[in-house]
Structure 1
């Protein structure tokens, strides 16, 4: 009995040892089948990628059609010839830069002259030259250049002297210079230029008086008319006329005196500026009266 038992053990072990060999063999077969299946799938995917199949229009395919956007025009192009032409002496870029620089220089000259004259209390002696940079810019380039010079000068005075000096310059000299420069640039006659510039100067003087009346809280126009009324009454009484003039007559006298003052001032500016431009060689761009052209 013992012998049979001992003889059966190897057989039993042999049976148990054969089982893992069979299982390893089945696993190898399973791995081999998986590898071949994976390789077949890779080969099919590679063939699809190497030969893509796009859906043909008109078929019942559920895939969407692939659309390629059109190539647009470039946003900018390089032009070497135009840049080289603009940088020449007669080029557009050069002329615009030169005009801007000259307007800035004239504005700085006019603003500093006005600041120094008002600071040294010699404004009445140099008042004829404050509008010259604006007129010169208008005659040298165009009306736009004259307007830029006026605005730049007023901005400089606003920074250096405050808003009162800037507004005073515009009312008394800036608009007058712009009006004269525009009329001379358009070849207007001296009669039209003097007439229009006189009214511009008179309107600026009235606005100047109103502005200072508001600042000092006093009606300067009323004080002026009262003094004129007292002077006219005294003159009439001294001549033997016992007449008291009405306020309408006083206003008329005040307006007439103001217009005459502005007319003489503007006419003096025309003579002075015409002589200045003639000496600079700009006589061809001026429309001078016959008597003045013969005199110079």
Structure 2
């Protein structure tokens, strides 16, 4: 077998240059192609550079930080520090204000304490009056019903005593009704407010006793009129008629042929009521003065000389 058929031809890595054989006749119709017979060489190697790799203009973002414009950022931390300092000063001011308000000498603390004390005194006074009238022992504890109002007036002023009286009356209105509330106001509330006001103003005891006795006498007459309205009977007329009959009997027994007029009867009735209320008020002044001295409130009182000597 002829093995030359299986011979392989080995070619070089570089193909031979393209050339036109000499036996080929030139075509007169075509231009001369003498340059085709020249060997074809590979393109020259051009060294790589950033301008050849990236022909487009550089991106401004890719510039170094040195080429970027420098902004002055020194003011930002100063402003932030100033804002933080202002916030800290504001918070510290609020904290100082809260501490001042919650202090013992603060306005909020004092107002809260006044409100609590007045409410407590009103509740105690109303409950004591309600239990006393319900158990019919009012005559034994009647001298203590005006005490909370006087304490509030001496400690917190005249307005505090007035508020204590109103709060006690409202509590009695809810618990017992309008009759007992009005009775408390006329017999004890107004007397307590008058006494607390005069003692707060450091008035003389003689003036205080006279005014308080007059207020209690008016309150007693008012209670009589309210009772007359409720039972549809003129109690004041019955009292004056009984006084007139008693005086007429005394005059006739003495041997005087005279009948007292109704004006004299009214004057005698008013004098007796005023004296009764006056003795009661004197007892209240002495009792309350001793009570306040035991509480350590002697500096806020103006005591008469005879009482200071006795103490």
TM range (shorter): 0.7 to 0.9
Q: Give unpaired runs (5+ residues) of structure 1.
A: 1-76
The residue matched to 1:125 in structure 2 has which SS?
Answer: helix
**Per-residue Cα deviation, 1:12-62 (whole angstroms, up to 9, x for no partner):** xxxxxxxxxxxxxxxxxxxxxxxxxxxxxxxxxxxxxxxxxxxxxxxxxxx
1:88-121 deviations in whole A, cap 9, x for unaligned?
1111000100010000110011000000000000
The normalised TM-score by structure 1 is 0.73
Deviation at 1:189, TM superposition (A): 0.5
TM-fit CA distance, 1:197: 0.6
Aligned to 2:113: 98
State whether structure 2 residue 127 is matched by structure 1 residue 112: yes
Aligned counterparts, 1:275-294, within 5 A: 275-294=290-309
Q: Which has the higher helix share?
A: 1
| Structure 1 CA distance for aligned equivalents of residues 294 and 102 of structure 2 | 31
1:106-255 aligned within 5 A:
106-255=121-270
Return the index of the structure with the highest Cα Rg: 2
- What's the CA shift string for 1:274-294, capped at 9, x where partnerless? 011011111111000000011
Distance 1:249 1:193 in 2: 28
The equivalent position to 1:264 in structure 2, one of 279, 286, 299, is 279
Residue aligned with 2:259, SS:
coil
Mapped partners of 1:287, 1:225: distance in 2: 40
Q: Secondary structure of the equivalent of 1:89?
A: coil
TM-score, normalised to structure 2, is 0.69
Unmatched segments (≥5 aa) in structure 2: 1-89
Equivalent residue, structure 1, for 2:31: none
Shift of 1:83: 2.0
Aligned to 1:273: 288
Structure 1 Cα separation of the partners of residues 286 and 249 of structure 2: 37
Match of 2:43 in 1: none
Q: Distance in 2 between matches of 1:121 and 1:285?
A: 35
State the alpha-carbon separation in 2 of the partners of residues 84 and 128 from structure 1. 42
Could you tell me how far 1:141 is from its partner in structure 2? 1.4
Q: Distance in 1 between matches of 2:100 and 2:275?
A: 53
Partners of 2:280 and 2:177 in 1: how far apart? 27
1:248-283 deviation digits (Å, cap 9, x = unpaired):
110110111111111111111001100110111111
Kindly tell me the number of residue pairs found equivalent between the two proteins.
220
Q: Shift of the alpha carbon at 1:82?
A: 1.8
- CA distance in structure 1 between the aligned counterparts of 2:294 and 2:100, rounded to whole angstroms: 33
1:152 and 1:82 map into 2 onto residues whose CA distance is: 32
Residue 240 of structure 1 deviates from its aligned partner by 1.1
How far apart in 2 are the matches of 1:204 and 1:184?
A: 20
Shift of 1:238: 1.1
